[in-house]
Amino acid sequence: MTHEKIVVKENGDKVKLRVNFWENYGQAKYEVSASLCVKGKRLFKPVYDTDDYRYRRLEKKERDEWIENKILEHATAAEIMQAKIECWQLLKPCL
């Protein structure tokens, strides 16, 4: 399941947080990605560039840490957690 949340910063920039939840062998897994829309623009662009040489020379674990740090430059941990909780609320069965 995918859930998107748009967070507007004080300077007018918008950050779109996309949370993907899935189940793998009985374990719940998630992935968070972020896109940035600068004030006055309409297009959301990823907060990191995979064609950047600094990214390409890293190993898999270091790449994951680099992506996480780039996301945290634009969104706080609390905003990411709020997006995860909203996605989790959508997954809960209605009783």
Which of 73, 84, 90 lies closest to 17, judged by CA? Answer: 84
What's the pLDDT score for residue 54? 85
The domain in which residue 29 lies consists of 2-84
How large is the C-alpha radius of gyration of the chain? 15
- Based on the structure, what is the number of domains in the chain? 1
- Tell whether 93 is covered by a domain: no
Structure tokens belonging to residue 38: 């600068």
How does pLDDT run across 30-81, given as a tens digit for each residue?
899 999 999 999 999 999 887 888 888 999 999 999 999 999 999 999 999 9
What's the pLDDT score for residue 17? 96
φ, ψ for residue 67, nearest 5 deg: -65, -45
- Tell whether 19 is covered by a domain: yes
Q: What is d(CA 89, CA 84) in angstroms, rounded to the nearest whole number? A: 9
How does pLDDT run across 75-92, given as a tens digit for each residue?
999 999 999 999 988 887
Q: What is d(CA 25, CA 83) in angstroms, rounded to the nearest whole number? A: 24
- Tell whether 77 is covered by a domain: yes
43-46: long-range contacts (C-beta < 8 A, 24 or more apart)? 44/14, 44/16
What's the pTM value of the predicted model, to 2 decimals?
0.84
- Tell whether 39 is covered by a domain: yes
